[in-house]
């Protein structure tokens, strides 16, 4: 496999340095502005920052030695999203404290930035490879798509349930079962996409299904957001699923990009 060019390595190295500055600066800013964390809370608060700084330093070392690997970009692209999902799940749990919310907010913004930048770096690194069949890189792409689908499923479930408890007009009785039918349907669709990947089916249609469904639900929810008829189960459902659908739609776009790369640079 051809290594990333020297110019690309230098650009990526600069991006890594900027990410390190962002992680340190934003984490300290949130900590100094309003933190009331105890000893354990402080450790948990700065743990994502420390881990990401280690990842960034290792990446810079590999770039300096002209030994930057695809796995370095994969770690940078995936790890921040794992932090976000785990911390969000803890912060919205029934036993959530103010400290857990502070820990989540302390790494949310830089986590999103790093995750997006990591995906872009992965695309650059991957497209620099020779255009030929490469089983190792193909497997990495497949695993990344599975991971994105799994993250989409987790966010879909957590956000759907969380926002259900925050509706202006709570859904009660038998309507609760109806309300959660879309949750199960979308979850089943995401599960089917993971199954297709396991069966080596990499069609663009499969990648577009989740993306289009997410954006359609998000747009419908947005259109119903100003409605005063919150006694209507339909309005409550569309509004309740708007934000989780938006998250799924965004992650679906990531899968579409990865699928296009998989089809273009691998067989």
Question: In angstroms, what CA-CA distances link 164 with 94, 124, 224?
Answer: 14, 40, 15
Q: What would the pLDDT profile of 190-232 be if each residue is shown by its tens digit?
A: 888 888 888 877 778 888 888 888 888 878 777 766 555 445 6
Largest CA distance in the chain: 63
Q: Look at residue 57 and give its three-state secondary structure.
A: helix
Q: What would the pLDDT profile of 158-168 be if each residue is shown by its tens digit?
A: 877 777 776 65
Per-residue model confidence (pLDDT) at position 5 = 59
Alpha-carbon Rg of the chain, whole angstroms?
A: 20
Per-residue model confidence (pLDDT) at position 55 = 93
The stretches in the chain having pLDDT less than 50 are 1-4, 130-133, 229-230
Closest CA to 248 of 214, 201, 197, 202: 214
Per-residue model confidence (pLDDT) at position 77 = 87
Closest CA to 57 of 76, 77, 38, 74: 76
Per-residue model confidence (pLDDT) at position 133 = 42
């Amino acid at each position: 496999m051809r290594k990333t060019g020297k110019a690309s390595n230098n650009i990526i190295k600069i991006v890594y340095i900027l990410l390190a500055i962002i992680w340190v600066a934003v984490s300290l800013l949130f900590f100094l502005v309003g933190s009331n964390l105890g000893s354990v809370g402080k450790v948990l608060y700065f743990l994502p920052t420390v881990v990401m700084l280690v990842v960034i330093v290792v990446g810079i070392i590999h770039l300096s030695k002209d030994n930057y690997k695809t796995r370095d970009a994969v770690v940078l692209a995936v790890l921040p999203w794992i932090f976000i999902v785990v911390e969000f799940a803890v912060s919205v749990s029934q036993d959530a404290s103010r400290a857990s919310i502070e820990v989540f907010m302390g790494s949310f913004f830089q986590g999103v930035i790093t995750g997006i930048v990591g995906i872009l770096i992965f695309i650059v690194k991957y497209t620099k490879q020779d255009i030929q069949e490469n089983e190792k890189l193909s497997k990495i792409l497949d695993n990344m798509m599975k991971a994105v689908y799994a993250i989409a499923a987790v966010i879909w479930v957590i956000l759907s349930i969380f926002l259900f408890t925050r509706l202006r007009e709570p859904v009660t009785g038998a309507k609760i079962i109806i309300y959660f039918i879309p949750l199960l349907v979308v979850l089943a669709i995401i599960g089917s996409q993971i199954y297709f990947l396991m069966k080596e089916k990499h069609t663009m249609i499969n990648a577009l299904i989740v993306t289009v469904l997410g954006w359609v639900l998000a747009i419908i929810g947005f259109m119903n957001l100003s409605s005063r008829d919150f006694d209507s189960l339909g309005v409550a459902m569309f509004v309740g699923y708007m934000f989780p659908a938006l998250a799924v739609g965004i992650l679906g776009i990531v899968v579409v990009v990865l699928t296009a790369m998989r089809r273009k640079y691998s067989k």
